[in-house]
Chains A and B, each alone.
Chain A
């Protein structure tokens, strides 16, 4: 109990910690909710491509505007991430290149350009001050209140998108071909959903960084799937797991010296996944073992001529 209060108390006292915790909450909430769709559609790796592709966008946004305002940089990230998804979609459209090949190509090409731009910018003093390299691995301590507002603003757009296009996104994830026969513009909906996923990713870049961000998209959803068979519950639970990981990761990293926030958050969400894979009812490994064990017992009983219980 005391450990917990020692962890939580600084939340109310420490401005930086409170800001970072709020930021991680927004990031966990939005990436958790949107990640559900990436996981259900078997497109878990698209998050990795989008987040890596965001790097040149951030660098270009700074290069063009000279501004270090978070909204500007995140819009740059968003534009590049979005362009990367469109590239993947376009390349796979004519079936000449497979989906995973396209992902790998786009990810590395964009990330490579990003690193080139970043290296170039590092040689100019202004960029070093702007701390663009923090976007690589994330640096939560650089978050200020204004950043959190920007994240919340972008995040509420992404969440509103899920609410407005709830049934269309469900159909897109389950049976897109059938949706097309109904006359629904499935390709446009696909682009829209990908855009919202890119928004969710852009939100987390400053805290978690481009390298680890895709974990925040996939892991909460993968954990949530273990606990429920309803899409709405899965989206909610995934968002909750995201928040849980965000806040606990922030608190733990603040309690120990030299523990970076982004990777700690990712560790926290990994623990949630591991626990869910093992212990969730019905789908968890432990549960299945037990049911299998009971079945074998029942069978053995029958062999002994006893009625099965």
Chain B
């Protein structure tokens, strides 16, 4: 078996005195398309941020492709929550996508023709090449999300970590994004997605991590996505979905 794309061991984190993640063990194999699901405040985003080294865990170990994240940084790409930035910033779509290449361009240099071509290619993939020169404050939610996705695609990584890429986007964008996730998977990439919608989850993803501060269950959707596990994850905090459907 090849090195797992992601290994999390005994990971615990707290903000002040409140535990956010507790003793998480979790493995993602290469080529998996995985969802992380759980109620608000379950630590889903924090888990992604811990993997990316954006927050410091209290204890535990995280390995990306068998190595500490800082050694394999260029192998991982991050799609933050759309709402994490101010979209009134004075710049255009192409410029935001080019930011995905800032780590590779090097100090004191500006993006050139080669970088622009790559960025345009990524924009074509997400279907908004015609918006390249568009001011980002004029984008719809779906277009913002496609822009962020394109910024991650130009990084040409092996592991993609996405925080709620389907949150509040239109149906067409949702379909486009899912197609791209599947395409990434068929290219042998690993994709980890924080996903809210329990209705669509079994249709879109092969495996899932059910998280509520602790790991409730993890594995293939058809084995793990049971009413019992979901009830434990959400602790009756949602008016319950009917028994999750199999397949699409």
Chain A residues at the B interface, C-beta cutoff of 8 Å: 40, 42, 95, 164-168, 170-171, 173-175, 177-184, 225, 228-231, 233-234
Contact = CB atoms under 8 A, between A and B. Distances in A.
B76 A181 contact: yes
Contacts of A95: 15
Contacts of B92: 229-230
Interface stretch (B98-106, B173-181, B184-192, B206-214): B98-106
Contacts of A170: 91, 95, 99
12 contacts: A40-B89, A95-B15, A167-B110, A170-B91, A170-B95, A170-B99, A177-B84, A180-B53, A182-B73, A182-B100, A229-B90, A234-B90
Interface in B111-169: 111, 135, 137, 151
Contacts of A179: 99, 102
Contacts of A181: 52-54, 73, 76-78
Contact of B99 (A42, A171, A183, A231): A171
A175 B90 contact: no
Contacts of B15: 95
A173 B85 CA distance: 10
B90 A182 contact: no
A93 to B, nearest CB: 12
B8 interface: no
Contact of B89 (A166, A174, A228): A174
B84 A167 contact: no
A167 B73 contact: no
Contacts of A40: 89-90
B96 interface: yes
Contacts of B74: 183
Nearest to B85: A175
How many chain B residues sit at the interface, stated as a range, is 20 to 34
A228 B90 contact: yes
A175 to B, nearest CB: 5
Given A167-B105, A183-B70, A229-B135, A178 B90 contact: no
B68 to A, nearest CB: 12
B44 to A, nearest CB: 16
A196 B223 CA distance: 57
Interface in B81-97: 84-86, 89-92, 95-96
Given A173-B89, A177-B80, A167 B137 contact: no
A233 B92 CA distance: 13
Contacts of B102: 167-168, 171, 179, 182, 184
Contacts of A183: 70, 73-74, 103
B110 A166 contact: yes
Contact of B90 (A164, A167, A168, A225): A225
Question: In terms of DSSP, what is the predominant structure of the interface of chain A?
Answer: helix
A175 B91 CA distance: 12
Given A174-B86, A179-B99, 7 more contacts: A174-B85, A175-B99, A177-B49, A178-B80, A178-B99, A181-B76, A181-B78
A21 B50 CA distance: 53
Contacts of B103: 182-184
A230 B90 contact: yes
B36 to A, nearest CB: 17
B110 A180 contact: no
A54 B88 CA distance: 32
A174 B99 contact: yes
B240 interface: no
B96 A174 contact: yes
A173 B90 CA distance: 10
A4 B99 CA distance: 47
Contacts of B105: 167
Contacts of A182: 73, 100, 102-103
A89 B248 CA distance: 50
A180 B49 CA distance: 11
A27 B77 CA distance: 42
Nearest to A40: B89
Nearest to B78: A181
Contact of B111 (A164, A167, A184, A225): A167
Contacts of B77: 181
A42 B107 CA distance: 26
Nearest to B109: A167
Contacts of A175: 80, 84-85, 99
Given A164-B108, A167-B102, A174-B96, A180 B54 contact: yes
Contacts of A230: 90-92
A227 B107 CA distance: 30
Contacts of A177: 49, 54, 80, 84
Contacts of B110: 166-167
